[in-house]
Amino acid sequence: MAISIRLPSEDEALLGRAAGTLGMSKSEFIRRSIAAYAEKMLPGEQTLAEIDARYIGKGGGLRQPESVADPRKRAIVERLREKHGYAG
């Protein structure tokens, strides 16, 4: 499906530089950028570890609150688990 968008000249120049740096066309750069952004925004398609890393950090997870390194984050995770139950 063809889509047409209008970009301000500054954005178009930025797009051209970024695509050129990677050695691809502007269209390919846009396709890959949309796919990468969509993956970040669709939590149902992310792994549980990716969701934990995004919202809690790489030092622990919702499924193991004792592994969360930051005591403030760990307290929040424990309170959320008490309120809502086991998260996974």
pLDDT tens sequence across 29-66: 998 888 888 777 775 666 666 766 666 655 555 566 66
CA distances from 76 to 28, 40, 73 (A): 42, 23, 5
> In the structure, what pLDDT confidence band is assigned to residue 10 with cuts at 50, 70 and 90?
very high
Q: Are 67 and 61 in contact (CB under 8 A)?
A: yes
Q: What is the pLDDT of residue 16?
A: 94
Domain boundaries, the chain: 8-41, 46-88
